[in-house]
Amino acid sequence: MAAIRFQSTEAKAAAATTEEYDVVIVGGGIAGSALACALASNKASSTLKIALIEAFDLSNHIKWSPRPDQYSNRVSSLTPKSVAFLKKIGVWAELDSSRVAACEGMQVWDGVSGARITFDAANVDGVQSSFLHQVFSGSIPTPPGVNNGTNQENLGDRKDASPLAWMTENLHVQYGLQKQLVDHQARGIKLDVFEKTKVQGITTEQGESAQLAQGDWPAVQLDNGKTLVTRLLVGADGVNSPVRSFAKIESLGWDYSQFGLVATLQIDPSTSTAPGQGKGIAWQRFLPTGPVAMLPLNNGYASLVWSTTPKIAQDLKKLPARDFCALVNAAFSASPAELEYLYKNIGPNGEPLVDFQKEIEWRTSVHDQEASQTMIRGSSSSQDDAKPPRVVDVQENTRAPFPLRMRNSSSYVEDRVVLVGDAAHTVHPLAGQGLNQGLADVECLARVIETSLLSGSDIGNIHSLTPYSSERFLPNLAMLGTVDKLSKLYNTDFGPVVWARSLGLTAVDKMGPIKNEIMRFAMGLEEPSNRS
């Protein structure tokens, strides 16, 4: 395989130099790298001269070779729409299918009232036929070798089925993107990757080409002595985007009084709902302190995203593994009052002040006795058949807390500047849509640039960029607003609010057409897919 043309500060230029590009992308994360791949994949934009700038070491991604029993703690759920885009730009074929897990169902319930809603991809009316016809040209079979822990023969027989999402590590997607960058460079695409290179400043500078200079172009000064002057500057540089600051675009929103704790869990394979015993199912329970979610992975593992208070998140990180796993199991079954008791019995250094295992086992036995009495009285509950798999261990060094925030930029475009991904918007992780929103931004922007090139327009002119902003701003704002309201709705145990939200959740669960539309929206199937 050809070596990627990485340039870094380790090979500084002897003197400052200025170089002109058509597109400079600041930020080599998933959004920025995906845009570089998309532009290199499209026929018209593949003729552009592109630069990708990243402060960290991207070359390590292409060397990524994890053990089957190790998973990164940052996992994303890729919707069918996102998978369609990754297939289109050649990235999906580069992924290791054994590290992709299909999520075919989701159980979501209220930790206070027990009200529940169940999602099953097989029950989405019309999803398979219309989606497959428009986006996948007739089929979306399970990628060869993909093992989500389900019976592979049965899953393979369902060639018309599309999961709710595909679960995989962010590092895995980055690996596929870097492989594609190598391939594009090998076939002569003018794509330069500046890794381990920081942006020192961004100014405006008159373009040197008489044909293209129609005003001041952004000039990006790098710490390797180079200055990149570009017709279009793309900010894919995260929530604290220097590109957004350069364009004087305001970022609106707020920080939640919550942290998200991520971890990689090992689950008991004998649990009836473990991936090895049934479908790949995602579990999410709303607690007054924030939602806790368990996402299916392969090889007997799952990914945890637990949104809670900053103090609880830090305490969870410090707990011994045995007690942490016990508390995770309790988070999906114990009452909020019982959880509060356990939280208060975590010492200042993370040591448990009571025997968590015995406390939880005793409380579980009490709940089981109450459930048995309920069944004897003839009021059995179907929820007994829908319990999450039992956690038996946590992978070392995977517990990590991070602050939660909601942001949306006042604009996504200015003349010669455009924002994508977290530079444009940041969402609470309870819906798992952050990465999907970023990939939708990239798909749209690549298509808008392609259209501008085919019509002979200047790709950096704000009028050429307006279709991108028009298409992406309102859907992103709607997603951010919906997730924010859900977060606030469930972040309370106030009686009337609990009653109202539980009534609504139960009602929606019984309304097939409405539930189908929710699933279609979450799977990214509501947006038109017949664009050229």
For residue range 429-452, what is the model confidence (pLDDT) as tens digits?
A: 877 788 999 999 999 999 999 999
Q: Which of 84, 83, 94, 86 is nearest to 61 (CA)?
A: 94
- Is the pLDDT at 156 greater than 50? The verdict is no
Q: Give pLDDT tens digits for 489-517.
A: 777 666 766 667 676 666 666 666 655 65
* pLDDT at residue number 428: 85
Poorest-pLDDT segment among 268-282, 301-315, 463-477, 506-520: 506-520
pLDDT at 155 over 60: no
Residue of 530 and 68 predicted with greater confidence: 68
pLDDT (0 to 100) of residue 334 = 92
Mean pLDDT of 264-278: 73
Average pLDDT over residues 90-105: 92
* Residues sharing a CB contact under 8 Å with residue 193, sequence separation 6 or more, in sequence order: 4, 5, 6, 7, 28, 36, 51, 52, 54, 58, 181
Residues of the chain with pLDDT > 90, as a percent, come to 56
* C-alpha neighbours within 13 Å on the C-beta side of residue 440: 27
398-414 mean pLDDT:
95
Predicted TM-score (pTM) of this structure: 0.84
Check whether domain 16-100+167-250+410-525 has CATH 3.60.20.30, yes or no: no
Average pLDDT of 64-68?
A: 88
Contact predicate 115/505, CB 8 Å: yes
The encoded tokens of residue 314 equal 């830090």
Condensed to tens digits (0 to 9), the pLDDT of residues 323-356 reads: 999 999 999 999 999 999 999 999 999 999 999 8
What pLDDT does 378 receive? 53
pLDDT at 497: 65
Question: For 204-224, what is the mean pLDDT?
Answer: 68
Please tell me the least confidently modeled range out of 58-62, 78-82, 233-237, 494-498: 494-498
Q: What's the start-to-end Cα distance of the chain, in Å?
A: 32
Q: What six digits make up the tokens of 459?
A: 């790709």
Sequence spans of domains, the chain? 16-100+167-250+410-525, 256-374+385-404
Strand partners for 120? 105
